[in-house]
Structure 1
């Protein structure tokens, strides 16, 4: 079973490379792209904790976090949000460019 860090690595790669789920599945040798879709949707809704196994999650709940660990986690989340934001901006620009191209053709 992939660890939380493995799942995060896949999600970061997916965002960074603006890849599709099948491309990411092929790159990481994962049989079904829907697995990555599920990880990514869970991550968008609940963050990194959604990628944890029950065992990891219960261990996290019992371990108090230091300020340094909290800061590191916030920085990670910030990095991922920036990557997602950049991806969405590029996607919006492509959609607008495509709509202009379609209008010119008419």
Structure 2
């Protein structure tokens, strides 16, 4: 039982995480699909898609593999978009937290 508990704690820690983005670019040929990344590091990136049939907020690892797939409503998509824009326009970074994608923090500190 102790081994199972330990494995659960370790695997949860590997999947959860925070990273900061400082760039939000519109995906070519889309009006409401955005690539989010940090131009100083390439460990993790995200895509906020408010335009496709299914709105999503996906987080990718450094190998461009999806680590977190999040389906959204249009209002949730707008909330993430608005918060990200506000942080970046204020000259800050935006903290992306895979365990709380709706966090309002600009910095992960």
Structure 2 length as normaliser, TM-score? 0.30
Higher relative contact order (CA 8 A, sep 6+): 1
**Which of 1 and 2 has greater Rg?**
1
Higher strand share: 2
